[in-house]
Structure 1
Amino acid sequence: MKRTTLSLIAIAATLAAVTGAAALTAPDGTVPQNLIGTARLPVERTALLCPAPSSSEVSETTYTSYTPAAKSVPGAKEQRTAAKAELKPAPLAPPPGEQPAKNPKALKAPATVTRPGTPVNAEAKGAEAPALDGSASGGLAPGWTVQQTTVVPAGGARGLLGVTCTAPDTDFWFPAASTAKQRQDYVHLTNPDDGTATADIELYGPAGPLKSLSAEGIPVPAHSTVPVLISTLTSDAAQQDLTIHVTTRSGRVGAVVGAADDTAGADWLPASADPSGTAVLPGIPADATSVRLVAFAPGDADADLKVQLVTPTGTIVPASADSLHVKSGMTAAVDLPDLTRGEPGSLLLTPSDPKKPVPVVAALRVARGKGAQQEIAFIPAAAPIEARATVADNRAKGATLALTAPAAGAEVRITASAGSGGGTPVTKTVTLKGGTTTSLAAPVPDGLKGSYALTVERLSGGPVHASRLLELPEDGIPMFTVQTFADDHGTVEVPDARQDLTVLDD
């Protein structure tokens, strides 16, 4: 993760649904009869961005590209867009005044999906592996996902680094970043569009905003990526706990934080779910040796939060911290020692006064192992799965699902896809009890060859938050990474429009 400031490759992509909704009214304020009713139709275009995986010469990266098997959607017509899902290199933005490289290094076999229901893998080695720009269209667009998994066996950034490639946006929050001496944290900004995007990066510590040196108006050229070492953006002293806020003045970017700790390993820090009065951080491993909660209140009011652990048997208050006060515009952090006590769980943050919720963003820094055998990962607050979500690149061993129903009970369907090299999908229905976290070994396809994808569908009941833990131990180090499930928004609501010739009447 040690890179020159503004000098890393990341990814570009564009998420666009060809269908949309428009609200129309007649002069008297009524809705025309030909627009009454809506239908949910599959999206026809999706884009994703994968950051440059590592600066280590000994790194090995696997990309897994997957679209869930198609299902019939009532009211949907045959998709006419050509079905295609592919990844291509996204070049590193050149220094100001220099021209971009004409031939950026490409993968030998980009992870190109040819049909829904079967994942496709590609591999890259070393520090020259590029960021990737991905897009899917037609029948391959709904639910398309790409997982990037990197093993770095040695060096200051050694560890298992996993990230679900993200869609572009204009606003991102990253609690749990750091400028501490042992940390090297980079924000990777990628522009998927044809025009230059302009981004601002704000840093917030325990005392509020940090002094900014060059964090405003960062240009991100079209179809390229810019890595920013956050310690170079401020003249303030090193901070153990920071919240990063990335916004754009123009255009859109994909954003993710690469965090490397010289003493504890490395992983990707994805953006937290949007600010909310309640936050769920799913999937703390049972054998976690340390857990640190970092939260931030972006509004004008302080947040008083109740801290609870959602376990397999119910919700309890941790002995180490039952509450957290988060001052407006300031980053708050607390260590939660002996949090899990040998049981997996999820952290639940709720307003101390339910009548006065204050939006917050939050993330966990989780460690397994101790000393030189330690490894870290991050768990950001996760939005609930509305309908369907997928995480790719699961192996025959070492994949664990955490399913949290923080309020009411729910029922979910889990599908283990066919393997990238063969195998038959397996489906399992799980009933979740309200106020609990269900942890289970991920179901494995029959006759699995290669890696596979896990899709979680919420069938009924209350909100469900989920994550996947992937373990790949190496030389006694419990290397692991955690990816939260994000709803794939594979369908979009559109008006049920019909021809109405009465509009031609005088």
Structure 2
Amino acid sequence: MNRTTLSLIGTATALAAVTGFAALTVPDASSGGTAATAARLPVERSTLLCPAPTSSDLAETTYTSFTPKGKDARTAGQRNRAELLPAERAVEGAEKKPEGRGKDARRPDRPVVTLKQPGTPVTAETSDAEAPALIGTADGTLAPGWTTQQTTVITAGEARAVLGARCTAPDTEFWFPGASTAKDRQDYVHLTNPDSSAAVVDLEMYGRNGKLKSTAGEGITIPARSTVPVLLSTLTEEPTADATLRVVARAGRAGAAVQAEDDKRGGDWLQAAADPSGSAVLPGIPADATSVQLVAMATSEDDADVKVRLAGPSGPITPAGHETLHVKSGMTAAVDLADVTKGEPGSLVLTPAEKDDAAPFVAALRVTRGKGGKQETAFIPATGPVEERATAADNRAKGTSLSLVAPGATGRVKVIASAGSRGGSATAKSYTVKGGTTLAVRPPVPSGAKGSYAVTVVRESGGPVHASRSLELRKGGVPMFTVQTLPDDRGTVVVPEAEQDLSLLTD
């Protein structure tokens, strides 16, 4: 068998592994042996990882799981189920059996959340301070676009906040601009391994002068189907307020999220920014933001010179005194944009200062609302556009807002509100987002809604649209809130349809 034949067989095998479906068809006489056009098909399996929510005894956590309705192209013989199971907890790579957990957490074979049909969200709640991280898998018609939101409310104490996390897929590299090892911050990175063999990751931190000296972050072992929390301040002796954390797997894969707690400003989950690029969009700065801080890192050997623009309701504006940002190679830069929105909602759009000089960088925002002792913080990492569809799972009739930004040409999207978790009927509304602007809206609410509901953004036409969802749960006069960006759900994959060519079997 020659090398060409082996390559084709390897390609077909890889496609089958990724999509769960691949076919080799014999061409008819009229086809002339030409390969058919690639098809876009729904994925047949999805994996999600949710970090351990919190160690606070005053916390209430809600999990909301949802899959949008789609075309049920292939269902015969499939297992249509989505469930999230507890992960084991390990410390610095050493396995440790969970102690003092709730009944469900002690049973790794018992799902914490189970979804059985698309179109209607399901929820689960816990007040357990030792609630575990979750590892989830969805199959069949529940896999395309499967989304799970983890929302934790802490109403008292120094850690009082709303902590929102969009459970994410495992990967081999993550960037977290906006992490901190300063004395007023307690930042933990939660590393979760969904697989049956151990994963090994390295943690690297970069400050304003480059990579921070550390050996503690090298070769961290995450046992099979386990989670490892790491306090970032233990990685270096250099307290750094504005840093970028890079998580890279040298073996296996993992999920990663940073839980950031501030002594005075509450806290939230800092989730990974979009992959390094020469431009970035950070959607959803609330109108009443009292402080907006931009943190960026140049990830290549070249410095990044970035043009800073705020896309507001009426068009792009340049923040006074912050027209551009220079980020040196391998270093983190931070700039305080203060109350940049001036009472109007907006999104930050970062582009190369020179068209022919687009050095890659990563970026995120730390946004603060409130003043004095009633402040709350959330993070907005750079995110990609909604290419086909994106979903936020946990929304309430009050306190939910959606930010849509078209950084270039005008775009049009449809927003679908699902049925509620305890009843109600789905509804939808379309929005046109003018180029260079941010459109902040209250998404439609399901008719007769009971419980929480999901919001799905579907691209209809025009230029790219980026989106984020904000959930406000005001408590005791504190504007507690969380923001989740809505990257494309990647619910479909392009699969070329291969055709049989027996001539390849001969030399």
Pairing of 1:412-491 with structure 2 (within 5 A): 412-491=413-492
Q: Deviations over 1:42-95 (max 9, x none)?
A: 1110010001101100100000000001236xxx44453210101111111156
Please state how far the C-alpha of 1:499 moved relative to its aligned partner.
Answer: 5.2
One-letter amino acid of the counterpart of residue 44, structure 1:
E
Alpha-carbon distance in 2 for matches of 1:225, 1:98: 9
Q: Deviations over 1:474-493 (max 9, x none)?
A: 00000000000011111111
What does residue 53 of structure 1 align with?
53
SS at match of 1:139: helix
What does residue 36 of structure 2 align with?
36
Alpha-carbon distance in 2 for matches of 1:374, 1:102: 34
Please state how far the C-alpha of 1:21 moved relative to its aligned partner.
Answer: 7.9
Cα RMSD after superposing both structures:
2.2
Q: Deviations over 1:151-181 (max 9, x none)?
A: 0111222100001001000000000011111
SS at match of 2:56: coil
Pairing of 1:216-365 with structure 2 (within 5 A): 216-236=218-238, 238-365=239-366
One-letter amino acid of the counterpart of residue 90, structure 1:
A
In the comparison of the two structures, how many residue pairs are matched?
481
Alpha-carbon distance in 2 for matches of 1:222, 1:321: 46
Pairing of 1:120-199 with structure 2 (within 5 A): 120-199=122-201
Q: Deviations over 1:134-163 (max 9, x none)?
A: 110011100000000000111222100001
What does residue 63 of structure 2 align with?
63
Please state how far the C-alpha of 1:96 moved relative to its aligned partner.
Answer: 6.0
Identity value in percent: 60
What does residue 13 of structure 1 align with?
none
One-letter amino acid of the counterpart of residue 348, structure 1:
V
Contact 1:109 1:122 in 2 (8 A): no
Q: Provide closer, same or farther for how the CA distance between residues 320 and 285 of structure 1 changes in structure 2, counting only shifts above 3 A.
A: farther
Alpha-carbon distance in 1 for matches of 2:214, 2:380: 27
Q: Provide closer, same or farther for how the CA distance between residues 204 and 36 of structure 1 changes in structure 2, counting only shifts above 3 A.
A: same
Alpha-carbon distance in 2 for matches of 1:376, 1:325: 25
Please state how far the C-alpha of 1:304 moved relative to its aligned partner.
Answer: 0.8
Contact 1:19 1:494 in 2 (8 A): no
SS at match of 1:371: coil
Please state how far the C-alpha of 1:128 moved relative to its aligned partner.
Answer: 1.4
Q: Which segment drifts farther, 455-464 or 95-104? A: 95-104
Contact 2:385 2:464 in 1 (8 A): yes
Q: Provide closer, same or farther for how the CA distance between residues 19 and 354 of structure 1 changes in structure 2, counting only shifts above 3 A.
A: farther
Q: Deviations over 1:158-217 (max 9, x none)?
A: 100001001000000000011111100011100111111000000000010111031100
Alpha-carbon distance in 2 for matches of 1:445, 1:410: 24
Contact 1:320 1:336 in 2 (8 A): no
Contact 2:95 2:223 in 1 (8 A): no
Q: Deviations over 1:392-429 (max 9, x none)?
A: 11001110000000000111011000000000001111
Q: Provide closer, same or farther for how the CA distance between residues 504 and 298 of structure 1 changes in structure 2, counting only shifts above 3 A.
A: closer
Alpha-carbon distance in 2 for matches of 1:389, 1:284: 19
Asked if residue 93 in structure 1 is aligned to residue 95 in structure 2, the reply is: no
SS at match of 2:144: coil
Please state how far the C-alpha of 1:130 moved relative to its aligned partner.
Answer: 1.3
Please state how far the C-alpha of 1:103 moved relative to its aligned partner.
Answer: 9.6
SS at match of 1:86: strand
Contact 2:91 2:229 in 1 (8 A): no
Q: Provide closer, same or farther for how the CA distance between residues 373 and 94 of structure 1 changes in structure 2, counting only shifts above 3 A.
A: closer
What does residue 396 of structure 2 align with?
395
SS at match of 1:231: helix
One-letter amino acid of the counterpart of residue 193, structure 2:
N
Contact 2:199 2:224 in 1 (8 A): yes
Q: Provide closer, same or farther for how the CA distance between residues 487 and 165 of structure 1 changes in structure 2, counting only shifts above 3 A.
A: same
Contact 1:34 1:500 in 2 (8 A): no
Alpha-carbon distance in 2 for matches of 1:178, 1:140: 37
Please state how far the C-alpha of 1:337 moved relative to its aligned partner.
Answer: 1.6
One-letter amino acid of the counterpart of residue 382, structure 2:
A
Please state how far the C-alpha of 1:266 moved relative to its aligned partner.
Answer: 1.1
Alpha-carbon distance in 1 for matches of 2:22, 2:411: 30
Please state how far the C-alpha of 1:432 moved relative to its aligned partner.
Answer: 1.4
